[in-house]
Amino acid sequence: MNAGGYLLKALQAAIVHNEFAVLCMAGMFDRATVNRVQQSNDIVDVISEHVALAKKGREMVGVCPFHDDHRPSMYVNSDKQIFKCFACGAGGSVFTFVQMRENLSFPQAIERLAQRAGIKLTPAKRTASTSAAVADIDPNRLAKLNAFSAEHFCKNLMDEEKGKYALDYVTARKISPESVEKWQLGLALDSGDDLVQAAAKRAIPKKLLTDAGLAVTRRDGRLGDKFVNRLIFPITDVTARVIAFGGRTLDDDDAKYINSPTTVLFDKSNTIYGLQQARHRIVSTGTAVAVEGYTDCIMAHQCGCTNVVATLGTSFTSGHARILRRYAKRIVLVFDSDTAGIAAANRALEICLAQRIGIAIASVPQGKDPCDFLVSSGKEKFEELVEQATDVFEFKWNRLKENFAKNNNLIDNRAAVEEFLQAVATGISAGNLSAIDRGLIVNQLSRIISLPAKEINSELRQHLRKAQRSAANNQRRSDFEPVDFGRGLFAAAQREILEVLLNEPKLYELVKQKIAADVFDVPILKQVAALVFETLNSSPETSLADILALAESVAQANAIVELERTGREKGNFESQLVGAMDAVREHQSRQARSNIQTSEDERQFLKRFGEDTRGNNRRSVGMV
Ligand SMILES: [Zn+2]
């Protein structure tokens, strides 16, 4: 049956069985909508936007973004529209991927993918409980307000009267009209409540404005704009959703740049400016170039260097590295050539070693910022700069040598060697440094500091043990928690039933009258059984993707894909099922027997207890 046919049938069945409420997704969207969104977002296309995929047999394979790895362990199956990582166990539908990747709820993932496919969503009527939840801080409402505000700021900048001075500034900074459009640059007027007024006209609640960090309560108690007389840089996530704003002052405000405060959508140290625009190029070149400022990033793209992103005027954090690691094999940090840049580079080095990614450092010459450098020297020179970036170890090595050259202080030199050995150890344990490099480093170090290589080696080993311990801790802190399928024979039987049904839905006929979902007692299996049984009750012609489209939690989707795979590997569906059902029956009758036994025991106990009490009473009576 084709997808449309299935859909119709499922809907009819749902209406007939009056199960529509049950089939509604999170009280937000009906099943037909969910299916339409799923069908308009091919899983291979969506995952390719985040991970480089290569063809392998009938599937695609890539490096899993949900655990620490360099080897490709994540398979994407286009026929089944599922993904599965064989190393960490993450798996599910296109919705699951987006949920895990962007830390979204199921309805949010649906909205996101609908947006991607240009589908307009109309939420199913909201129940009292969902609208109450929505009254709290809802990321989707914040995102909508942000989109409205971004558009408002754009209009201001384009306004021939109000926006002229700001546009003049933009032009003076050599930012082209195309870039203004591409990066949705805007203007926050200096009236102090321009956005607040505009929002009031749209009946946008004041609380939402303050929740989004776009408005602040002023001393006189009235609501005012957070961004006043500033050039606005909307900050988007990878799906082009505006999550926050950066603003550069257009007068002499001491705070040259300000950002939105932390909200449910935005956390500065975990956000990268320009990732949405740069990620394709980053994946295809394997290199991400990170600058600090908005205008540096914009100018790079304008000049044709489209794998450039920016930290939001802050120094590079391990959050940034973790995100970029998902897209890039190598990160090049480009700094102004001032000392602040060098100090920041030093910090970034430690972070990136721990994050297991190759990193190199480049400085812009002549004390310029990258934006000025791009304007004056152009694309080729900038690319040269990136090309010739210094590997972190070399960078650290050069610093060490400089230190020894100009410094005779034994304690300082000692500290520098320690620091270097720590970096080398982290590099080795992260797989960033080969044994040959290690030997060379030890020998050179031995020459510079006139210490026997043997001694340096033993010290290095100590650092290495420390580095490996912290790497092991990092490993455990992966983005993903494996599913607990329970232990024991009965749990195994529950698993097997689902393994078979996910592969051979027509065998549900054998299960239907005999076992209900409430027989399952392992929590995750009980949830999956409820989904599987419900879907199969409404239509026996069900695909894995249909069942996955009902799985609201990431854990459920992970479990479904895992169960489908193990089931497929075991094969022999019918005999597996018969065996598992026998085991379930056996368990049930044993439990029934033990219940009887328990009540027998209880009766016996009560009887004895009664006799004892009576005996006691007798004795007490006797004593009295
Ligand atoms: Zn994985």
pLDDT tens digits, one per residue of 497-538: 999 999 999 899 888 888 888 889 888 899 899 889 988 887
Task: Give residue 84 CA to ligand 1 midpoint distance, Å.
Answer: 8
User: Where is the domain boundary, 133, 161, 189?
Assistant: 133
Can you tell me the distance from the alpha carbon of 6 to that of 4, in angstroms, rounded to the nearest whole number?
5
The confidence score (pLDDT) of residue 608 equals 57
Please tell me the distance from the alpha carbon of residue 342 to that of residue 336, in angstroms, as a whole number.
8
CA 85 to ligand 1 centroid distance, Å: 5
Q: Are residues 147 and 129 in the same domain?
A: no
Q: Spell out the alpha helix ranges (H) of 213-253.
A: none
Q: What is the CATH number of the domain that holds 523?
A: 1.10.860
Please report which residue ranges of 203-287 form alpha helices under DSSP H. 206-211, 275-285
In a domain, 110, yes or no: yes
384-399 per-position pLDDT tens digit: 999 988 877 777 777 7
257 SS3 class: strand
Q: Same domain, yes or no, for 45 and 118?
A: yes
Averaged pLDDT, 12-37: 53
Query: Where is 112: in which H helix or E strand?
Result: helix 106-117
Q: Is residue 74 part of a domain?
A: yes
For residue 44, the CA-to-ligand 1 centroid distance in Å is 16
Assess whether pLDDT exceeds 70 at residue 26.
Answer: no
Q: Which pLDDT belongs to residue 352?
A: 65
Chosen domain end from 242, 266, 290:
266
Does residue 365 or residue 216 have the better pLDDT? 216
Residues 11 and 94 both lie in one domain: yes
Q: Of the candidates 213, 236, 266, which is a domain's last residue?
A: 266
**CB 251 within 8 Å of CB 281:** no
Distance 560 CA to ligand 1 centre (A): 16
Tell me if residue 28 falls in helix, strand or coil.
coil
Ligand 1 centroid–CA 367 distance in Å is 43
Token pair belonging to 246:
């950066």
> Same structural domain for residues 456 and 538?
no
Contact residues for 565 (Cβ-Cβ < 8 A; gap 6+): 84, 91
In a domain, 279, yes or no: no
**Cα–Cα distance for residue pair 417/403, rounded to 1 Å:** 10
Asked if residue 177 and residue 162 are part of one domain, the reply reads: yes
pLDDT number for residue 124: 54
pLDDT of 270: 79
Is residue 501 within a helix (H) or strand (E), and if so which, with residue range?
Answer: helix 489-503
Helix, strand or coil, per DSSP, at residue 280: helix
Question: What pLDDT, on a 0 to 100 scale, did the predictor assign at position 436?
Answer: 67
Task: Find the 180 Cα to ligand 1 centroid distance in Å.
Answer: 39
**Shared domain check, 149 and 240:** yes
Radius of gyration of the chain (CA): 31
- Number of CB atoms found within 10 A of residue 394's CB: 12
What CATH number did the domain enclosing 158 receive?
3.90.980.10
* 182 CA → ligand 1 middle, Å: 34
State in Å: Cα 511 to ligand 1 middle: 33
Q: pLDDT at position 598, please?
A: 60
CA of 327 to the centre of ligand 1 (A): 15
Asked whether residue 618 carries a pLDDT value surpassing 60, the answer given is no
The region of weakest confidence among 221-230, 405-414, 474-483 is 474-483
Contact status, residue 604 vs residue 542, Cβ threshold 8 Å: no
pLDDT of residue 473: 57
> pLDDT tens digits for 461-482?
888 887 777 665 554 444 556 6
**3-state DSSP of 503-519:** HCHHHHHHHHCCCCHHH
Beta bridge partners of 333: 290, 361
458 C-alpha to ligand 1 centroid (Å): 35
Give the global pTM. 0.56
CB 91 within 8 A of CB 83: yes
Rounded Cα distance, 128 and 447, in Å: 75
The mean pLDDT of 272-301, rounded to a whole number, is 93
CA of 315 from ligand 1 middle (Å) equals 29
Q: Ligand 1 centre from 71 Cα, in Å? A: 10
Residues 150 and 110 in one domain: no
Same domain, 511 and 459: no
The model's pLDDT over 321-337, given as tens digits with 9 standing for 90+, comes to 878 887 888 899 988 76
- Report the alpha-carbon distance of residue 246 to residue 234 in Å, rounded: 6
Residue 412 located in a structural domain: yes
Distance (Å) from CA 570 to ligand 1 centroid = 22
Question: What pLDDT was estimated at residue 502?
Answer: 93
Residues listed for the chain:
624
DSSP 8-state symbol, 365: G
Spacing, Cα 52 to ligand 1 middle (Å):
14
| 204 and 94 within one domain | no
pLDDT for position 5: 44
Ligand 1 centre distance from Cα of residue 72 (Å): 9
The pLDDT of 547-559, averaged and rounded, is: 87
Q: What is the pLDDT of residue 464?
A: 82
* Structure letter (DSSP) for residue 289: E
Q: Does residue 284 lie within any of the structural domains?
A: no
Is pLDDT of 246 > 90?
yes
**Residue 290: strand, helix, or coil:** strand
Q: Indicate whether 239 and 155 sit together in one domain.
A: yes
Which two three-digit tokens encode residue 548?
Answer: 């996955």
Are 262 and 181 within one domain? Answer: yes
The model's pLDDT over 587-597, given as tens digits with 9 standing for 90+, comes to: 888 887 776 66
What total of structural domains would you count in the chain? Answer: 4
Q: Please tell me the distance between residue 479's alpha carbon and the centre of ligand 1 in angstroms.
A: 9
> 65 C-alpha vs ligand 1 centroid, how far in Å?
6
**pLDDT score recorded for residue 482:** 63
pLDDT band at 16 (very low <50, low <70, confident <90, very high): very low
Q: How far is the CA of 94 from the centre of ligand 1 (A)?
A: 15
Give residue 400's domain range. Answer: 394-476
In terms of domains, do 467 and 524 share one? no
Per DSSP, helices labelled H in 173-262 are 177-182, 194-201, 206-211
